[in-house]
Amino acid sequence: MPTLPAALLKQLTAAPGFDEPAFVAVHAAAQPPVSVRLHPKKITPEETEHLPIAAPVLWAEQGRYLSERPVFSLDPLWHAGAYYVQEASSMAIELAWQHVPQQQPVKVLDLCAAPGGKSTHLLSLMKPKDVLVTNEVISSRVNILLENITRWGNANVLVTNNDPKDFGQLDGLFDVLLIDAPCSGSGLFRRDPEAIREWSEDNVALCWQRQQRIIADAWNALAPGGIFMYTTCSFSPEEDEAVVDWVHQQFDVESLACYYS
Ligand code: SAM
């Protein structure tokens, strides 16, 4: 594993609660944790017996940690969309979902959706009369999104290949807007050491500017009183807390606390 970028560690030192030795140790571990999210309707507990399930993911009802990484492509149930391989931290949108009103059908936009991890999760949380528009701007990535959505098997979903600006024309159409923004990828370091070599402060700056642009372009599509979810797989405060601060300055919003029991 290459050495973690000193500039990133320096930025994080100022973050409340940052524990540098633990952060470094976790990146030095030989095997990053493996987790899956089960399809709530396609798989029963008995049918998971061939998976090395070790523990539940506390913030996602269908999330499970595995004790080792099986060869998923050899498992027919993986091909059938009975579960999705996903990092446990990516399952945290389930905590935000508790704020979505459940009385009326909701329209949800997942703006940056490929390969479809969060969209398949949303579909498991949504009711049949809710509708998801799952969008990917980069055309070469739409196929994998379409494949994963098809595998998951819901009917209440549309897959699109549009620029965020296109959605900005749809005045207040969506009750929920999820932006899982493209980012500098420090959250991927454990899985992909190459991401460490590619990381740079310049890229972080490019990313937070693009993140702001994407949010600004699509914001008008969110209904008044709607729920905005913003996520990245970056640890950089410029791409996370600072973008949320910027959203507070630009738009009439309040932050909602998310808890798990
Ligand atoms: N939400 C996905 C999931 O859970 O599987 C992961 C999304 S990934 C973090 C960010 C996505 O944003 C990528 O699919 C990328 O192609 C897309 N993207 C890149 N540049 C973009 C842009 N300028 N506007 C909107 N999306 C963009």
Output the domain CATH number for residue 245: 3.40.50.150
Number of alpha carbons in the 13 Å side-chain half-sphere of residue 180: 23
Q: Quick one: pLDDT at residue 191?
A: 87
Whether residue 105 lies inside any domain: the answer is yes
pLDDT for res 1? 72
- Using the atom order of ligand 1, give the atom closest to the CA of residue 214: 24
Ranges of the chain whose pLDDT falls below 50: none
Indicate whether 48 belongs to any domain: no
- Examine the residue annotation and report whether 207 is marked as an active-site residue of this protein: no
Is 55 among the domain residues?
Answer: no
Tell me which residue has its CA closest to atom 2 in ligand 1: 113
Residue with the smallest CA separation from ligand 1 atom 26 is: 112
- Measured from the Cβ of residue 102, the count of other Cβ atoms closer than 10 Å reads 10
Rounded Cα distance between 205 and 208, Å, is 5
CA distances to 98, 100, 228, 245 from 256, rounded to whole Å, are 10, 11, 10, 13
Annotated binding site for S-adenosyl-L-methionine: 112-118, 136, 163, 180
Q: Tell me, yes or no, whether 193 lies in a domain.
A: yes
Tell which one of 124, 138, 142, 144 to mutate to probe ligand 1, the residue whose CB is within 8 A of the most ligand atoms: 138
* SS3 track for the chain: CCCCCHHHHHHHHCCCCCCHHHHHHHHHCCCCCEEEEECCCCCCHHHHCCCCEEEECCCCCCEEEECCCCCHHHCHHHHCCCEEECCHHHHHHHHHHCCCCCCCCCEEEECCCCCCHHHHHHHHHCCCCCEEEEECCCHHHHHHHHHHHHHHCCCCEEEECCCHHHHHCCCCCEEEEEEECCCCCHHHCCCCCHHHHHCCHHHHHHHHHHHHHHHHHHHHHEEEEEEEEEECCCCCCCCCHHHHHHHHHHCCCCCCCCCCC
What local confidence, expressed as pLDDT, does residue 67 receive? 97
| Count of domains forming the chain | 1
Ligand 1 centroid to residue 250 C-alpha, Å: 22
Whether 221 is covered by a domain: the verdict is yes
Q: In sequence order, what are the beta bridge partners of 158? A: 133
116 CA from centroid of ligand 1 (Å): 10
Residue 219 within a domain: yes
Gap from CA of 181 to ligand 1 centroid (Å) = 6
pLDDT of residue 124: 98
Give 47-66 pLDDT, tens digit per residue.
Answer: 999 999 999 999 999 999 99
Tell me how far the alpha carbon of residue 179 lies from the centroid of ligand 1, in angstroms: 8
In a domain, 41, yes or no: no
Predicted confidence at residue 261, as pLDDT, reads: 73
Atom of ligand 1 lying closest to residue 115 CA: 5
Q: What is the pTM of this model?
A: 0.97
Residue 240 lies in a domain: yes
Pocket of ligand 1, beta carbon within 6 A: 90, 112-118, 136-138, 141, 164, 180, 182, 210, 214, 233
Domain range spanning residue 211? 92-250
- Give the model's pLDDT for residue 30: 76
